[in-house]
């Protein structure tokens, strides 16, 4: 599966979002990752549906909306109407994740389910069949520029095998501390959508940074009775 790069505009200049998005999509980024924070699920407040609506008018890129909010079920309609392509919510933020996925699909969007580093894969096992994407947080959500948590590699790999065993299709997105170095490890573990904020927007040459994060294509072999 080819790697998809999703620059996070959290590290962009909020006064020039249209230009900041053009910069990364011109450089080959397929998705634009929008971090929505509510000041409760995570400490900061960032972007709401109004901003997404404006961004929709200036880009054809896939708008990958990451909801770091409590009660995500109350926000789905506004973000779908604003033009989100993918809506990802945290499994920790709702009692009814399965229903939230259904609602996102009814609204015509792809559905992603995010897990904090401290949340076990068992929280999403029953959702994989229904979801389009599982987002493994590789830092604790809330801020850009944090250090990649190494122990998440095993989790990514386990998820990759889980999906393979279920013979279903489900993207694996990773978010937090992704750069040219950690990219190799997460892709080897099975991630195919890479979010990167500071490593993209903090670079002098954004196009080169995206190229470095994308790296060389990794081919996964299917292991039948291999229990590594
Ligand atoms: C963290 C956000 C991330 C953030 C990643 O809460 O969900 O999308 O922008 O930033 P970096 O790539 O700098 O770790
Ligand atoms: Zn994010």
User: Is 227 a residue of the active site?
Assistant: no
Q: What is the model's pLDDT at position 228?
A: 44
* CA separation for the pair 53, 42 (Å, rounded): 23
Mean pLDDT on 45-70: 98
Q: Tell me the pLDDT tens digit for each residue of 37-48.
A: 999 999 999 999
Nearest CA to ligand 1 atom 10: 144
Report yes or no: 89 and 67 within 8 Å, Cβ to Cβ: yes
Mean pLDDT on 129-154: 98
Q: What is the model's pLDDT at position 220?
A: 85
- Give the confidence band of 218 by pLDDT, cuts at 50, 70, 90: confident
pLDDT over threshold 70, residue 226:
no
The rounded mean pLDDT for the chain is: 96
Mean pLDDT on 197-220: 95
Q: Which of 88, 139, 206 to mutate to test the pocket of ligand 1 (most atoms within 8 A of CB)?
A: 139
Token code pair at residue 48: 């709401």
| H-state helical runs in 5-61 | 17-26, 49-58
Per the DSSP assignment, residues forming a β-bridge with 90 are 114
Token code pair at residue 178: 């992704």
Q: What is the model's pLDDT at position 225?
A: 52
Query: Residue 198 CA: which ligand 1 atom is closest?
Result: 13
Give the H or E element holding residue 147.
none
Mean pLDDT on 65-93: 98
Which candidate, 179, 166, 190, places its Cα nearest to that of 214?
179
Contacts of 87 (CB under 8 A, 6+ apart): 65, 67, 76, 79, 80, 104, 107, 109, 110, 111, 112
Q: Which ligand is nearest to the CA of 196?
A: 1
| pTM value surpassing 0.85 | yes
């Amino acid at each position: 599966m080819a790697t998809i790069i999703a620059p996070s505009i959290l590290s962009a200049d909020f006064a020039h979002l249209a230009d900041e998005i053009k910069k990364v999509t011109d450089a080959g980024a397929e998705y634009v990752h929008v971090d929505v924070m509510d000041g409760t699920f995570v400490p900061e407040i960032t972007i709401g549906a109004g901003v997404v609506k404006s961004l929709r008018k200036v880009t054809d890129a896939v708008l990958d909306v990451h909801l770091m909010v409590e009660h995500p079920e109350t926000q789905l309609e506004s973000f779908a109407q604003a033009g989100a392509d993918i809506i990802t919510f945290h499994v920790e933020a709702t009692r009814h994740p399965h229903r939230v996925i259904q609602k996102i699909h009814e609204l015509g969007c792809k559905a992603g389910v995010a897990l904090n580093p401290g949340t076990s894969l068992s929280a999403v096992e029953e959702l994989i069949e229904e979801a389009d994407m599982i987002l493994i947080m590789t830092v604790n959500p809330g801020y850009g520029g944090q250090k990649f948590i190494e122990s998440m590699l095993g989790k990514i790999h386990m998820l990759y095998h889980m999906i393979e065993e279920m013979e279903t299709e489900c993207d694996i997105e990773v978010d937090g501390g992704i750069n040219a170095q950690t990219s190799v490890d997460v892709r080897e573990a099975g991630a195919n959508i890479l979010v990167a904020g500071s490593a993209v927007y903090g670079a002098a040459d954004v196009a080169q940074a995206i190229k470095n994060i994308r790296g060389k294509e990794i081919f996964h072999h299917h292991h039948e009775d291999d229990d590594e």
